[in-house]
Structures are given as C-alpha cells and as structure tokens.
A and B are shown apart, each in its own frame.
Chain A
Amino acid sequence: MKTYGSEPGAPTPVQVGISELIVSEGDDTLKSYGLGSCLAIALYDPDRDIGGLAHVMLPDGDAAEHSDRKPGKYADTAIRALLRRMVEAGANYTAVEAKIAGGSDMFEFESFGEGVGQRNVAAARAELEKLGVPLVAEDVGGEHGRTVEFTPETGTLVVKTADKNADHEVIEL
C-alpha cells in the first residue's frame, strides 16, 4: 500500500505492505500486519534516529529476475536497499543494527519442503552477516502469525502475536 504525502509525527502508523520497504526517522511508526512466513526486517541507526522496515516474502533476490524492480520482495535485496536509503538519509553504515520478526511455518504441506518461513530467516541472517550488520534481536519461527510496529527513534520493534488461547501476547524487541 502506498501512502501519498506524510505528516511528520502523525499518529497513524505507516503501513508497510508485502514486498514493500520504507525508510523513516524520528517517532514515526512503521507497521506490518499479519506476518506468517513473511519476515519483517528492521534496520536502524541508534545515533541518528533513522531506520527502515521491510516486509519480505522470499529469500533470494539475487537468483530472481527483475528483483531490482521490487527490492523489498526479497530478504537479501531488501536489506541492501534499506541500508542504501538509510545512508542516503544520513545514517552511519557502521552504526546500523538489525532486528527481525516473522518467518513462521504454519502449514506442513508437501510442496512447502523444508519450510518457507525458515528459508526467509536464514537468508536474512546470511545477508546481515555478509554486510557486517549486527542482528541484535529476533522473534522468529514457530507456527503463529505476528504483527510488528517499528519506531526508528527508539529502535523498538513491538511484536504482537495471536496465540492459540486468543490471549494477545506482546513482545518488545
């Protein structure tokens, strides 16, 4: 979903839909709803309050055609695009830290093989490692959905889970 125009400090969180990535700063909140096997990747520079959130669906963009058209779709290309845009916005590459959430495997279908969620998590970890970005917190895997809210200023990633007993569980990463 695209948002046209933005009011700084607006109370409505900006939605980051599947295959999208948004870089922002300050106390703006970025939100992704209902992640199942998709993965939310949050990067931020704690010194400069600049951060971004990506809602990726697939692991490997380098192996896919046209991944340059939609870098937010793949874990590897999304991380690089987030970093680039954050640096352009004034972030310091070496200070950037990462948090990830999502990557569940909800179904045991034959066609799913080793698990679509796990592959996303593994790809994100590998790309962060390659770029030397420390992964400081994560809430990944399992068999349940998550909704995440990220605030660049504090680097806080709030993860909400609809757990099996319908109690809403909230974790702050």
Chain B
Amino acid sequence: MKLDVNALGTFYRMAREGAGLAAGRLTHMTDVETQVGVTKLNFMRGQEIRRDFEDSTEKVGVRVKLTGAIEGYSMIVFERENAFRIIETLLAESSSDDAVDIEEREFDEMTQSAATEVGHIMNSGFVDGWADVLEAVIDVSTPEFVEGQSAEPFFGDIDETPDDDDLALLFQSRIETVGTEIGFSHYLFPKRTSMASLLDRLRTSGGIEYDKLDGFDRMAERGAEEIAETATTLTGIDTSVEIRRLNFVSLEAIPQQLPDETLVGVAFEFDGMPSGYLIFLFDEESAHEIVDAMIPMDVDEDGFGEMGTSAIKELGNIMASGFLDGWANVLDTTIDHSPPEFIHDMGAAAVDPVIIQLGENQEFTFVFDTVVMADGREFDCEVYAIPDESDLERALNDLEVDRIEETPTTAEFQELDNT
C-alpha cells in the first residue's frame, strides 16, 4: 500500500465535505445551529484508539457498515448525556405531551430509535459527502445502536479496527452545536484492502510505502519519549507522554485547534532532511510551574521575566535536540535547529507564522501531535512538529524501516550558549 499527498488531500476533502453535510442535516432535523469543528486524518494505533474511548464517560454510538467505493465502518459517537439532549429537542417537536423523562437516562425503545435515527442521518451525511468527492457509489447498511464506557462494545467485534500496534488511517471529525457544549465525534474505519485500492486510484506520484510511515511514526514515538524524559530530568517533575499521534491536516486547521487563551511557547526552525518547524506550547500555569522547578531561588518577576524566559527556552532547546536527534538517528542524517524563540501570546498567533511560511508551497501537512503531562502537578506541553512536505516525502523514501528497531535514541544534553 502506497500513499501520497494528493491522495491524502482527497481523503481530507472527503472528511470535510462529509462533516459539512452531516452538520447540515443535523441542523435541518433539529433546528439547532451546528458547526464543523476540527477535521483530521489520523494515523493511530489500535491501542491509542482504544485509550481515546476509555475516559470513563458513557457514550452511545450509531454505526453502519459500508460497501462499494469504501468498505469499512462509519460511526457517530456522542456522550450519553448529549444524546439525550438532542433526542429531547427532537421529540419535543413531534410530540410535546409525551416528553422524555430525561432524569431516568435509560434508553427505551422510543429514545433508542430516535438516537439511532439521528446517528444514521449523520452517518449518511458523511457517506454522501465522500461519495460526492469520489464520484462513486457507497452503500450503507442498516444502523446499529451501541452503548458503553469502553472501546469494546464499539469496536470489539469489528475486524477492521487495527490491532494494538497497527497504524490505521482514521477519519475524525467534530461537529458542535453553536453556543452549547454538545459535540459529536465521527470515526471511519476503512478496510485495509479498500483503502489500498482507493490510494492507488488517487495517487498522482510514486508515493510513499505505507510501512515507512509506520516506521516514521515509531521513530517519532521515541522522540516524544525523549521529550518527556528530558523534561523530567530538568524539572524534576515526573512527566509522561499522554497523547501522541500523526495527523494529516490542512495547514489552516492547526491554529484552529488551539484554545483561545494565552500560552507560553518555544519555537524552532529545523534544517536538514527533513526541514520544518517545531513548537512547544505550555499553558501559563504549567510554564510557571516549570520556572519554579528550574530556578531554585525565589524570583521576583512579573509574568515571565528574563530568568523565567531563559529557563523555558533552555528546557525547550534540550527537548528539541532530543526530539530531532531521534529523527536524525533513524534517518541517518543530521538535523540542525535554530536558537529557541520564546513566545507568550495567544496560542493560535504563535502557530500561524509557521503555517503561513509553509503555506506558500503546500496546502496540507503531516503534524506530529504530542502531549506530555505530569501526574499531580501542572505540566501540560503540546508539541507540534511540522515538516516541510517535499522534504518529508524524500526523507521517508530514504528511510530503511529495519533501522528503526536498531537505532537507539539518546539526547545529548548540550549547554545552551545563545541566550
């Protein structure tokens, strides 16, 4: 199975079109204004998908089996409580004197069938959007209602879901109702053979072997672990990698997924094969925590003064070296990075210059999203590694997948002399 940017770009358009149609139909059905949130193509391992689900909230899902131009499963997932709220809106319209007892929060025949209906109409919206983009027919089975707290009832019996260590391509979208907190997630699990033949059809270049992407993801996994270890060594705060995934998104989607709040960040440009940009973002509380941990004495500074800034830059610099060394070792190359640039500003504003720079030559990008967190203390760090597209393609083609398992990744702790 081979993929290229053009084929992934078409997939991304499919995901966006599908989300748009699904949101439109939900609005039509419930009269609730909706908007499409972040749409992503995720390359996720089975274990990560499962972990995504195990956040102990009760969820309900409506899934359909697809045949035709795409084979696999399409599933709408909502939190149980949200499902009830939507059903309430629906049933209140059709039969006002027979209102649902929301307090009970159990699905009876009527509420389950209403929830299934909503889910099915949204699934069909997605599928119609994909069919439009592909100009092909996709058939949809009758919907199945699923509920539970873990991944098991949702994916357990589906062959298409990847094993723990398999990297699967997943379409993920978020639809939100305007002004409220009701959101839906959508997943598409395509069958590997169906995906392979689609990729073949959509590819316009030689493409990258899928297995190499898998290799690259493993390598990035090590880079992420390196970051967590570095952070622990330097700050004494026990950190670990919480989320890590490889996404394929349109450049514009990256700043949009950041929260509308002031963040503290360190940014680098890196140069080599591949070149690109690396950004670490902390929320303000975490950044203060880091400064306190790294500077033993009491510092009387407003916001982030000279000492705080340089402590965060130093941490960022060493984390960047560890992360990029991880890549360089596996790719058997050297990747240099610039001195750190400190930023304390709106999150999106920290990322958009990079998007603009890359946007001159590319529309989409692979993003290595990583979240490092600490137990009990504030240390939330989001890492965005955004490589130049053509460089990445070349670097991946040169990658020998066998090397990955053999290459140790060790960050060198070098002194920062440029601040």
Contacts and interface: CB of A to CB of B under 8 A. Distances in A.
Q: How large is the interface on A (under 10, 10 to 19, 20 to 34, 35 or more residues)?
A: 35 or more
A120 B347 CA distance: 20
A17 B35 CA distance: 12
Given A36-B348, A144-B345, A164-B303, A2 B353 contact: no
Nearest to A12: B179
B34 interface: yes
Contact of B349 (A73, A104, A111): A104
Nearest to B32: A5
A7 B349 CA distance: 29
B209 to A, nearest CB: 28
Contacts of A77: none
Interface stretch (B19-27, B60-68, B195-203): B19-27
A18 B346 contact: no
Contacts of A17: 252, 256
Interface in B334-364: 338, 341, 343-357, 359-360
Interface in B356-392: 356-357, 359-360
B352 A18 contact: yes
A61 to B, nearest CB: 12
B293 interface: no
B255 interface: yes
A2 B20 contact: yes
Given A5-B33, A12-B179, A147-B260, A106 B255 contact: no
B269 interface: yes
A145 B255 contact: no
Given A4-B23, A162-B346, A34 B341 contact: no
Given A107-B341, A164-B303, A146 B349 contact: yes
Interface of B: 20, 23-24, 27, 33-37, 178-179, 252, 255-256, 258, 260, 262, 267, 269, 275, 277, 284, 302-303, 338, 341, 343-357, 359-360
Interface of A: 1-7, 10-12, 15, 17-19, 33-38, 57-58, 73, 104-112, 116-117, 120, 144-147, 162, 164-166
27 contacts: A1-B36, A2-B23, A5-B34, A11-B179, A12-B178, A17-B256, A18-B252, A18-B256, A33-B346, A34-B255, A35-B349, A35-B352, A36-B255, A36-B349, A36-B353, A37-B352, A57-B352, A58-B360, A104-B349, A106-B353, A107-B269, A111-B275, A144-B345, A145-B345, A145-B349, A147-B260, A166-B284
Given A4-B23, A109-B269, 12 more contacts: A1-B256, A34-B255, A34-B349, A35-B352, A36-B352, A36-B353, A57-B352, A112-B357, A120-B356, A147-B346, A162-B346, A166-B344
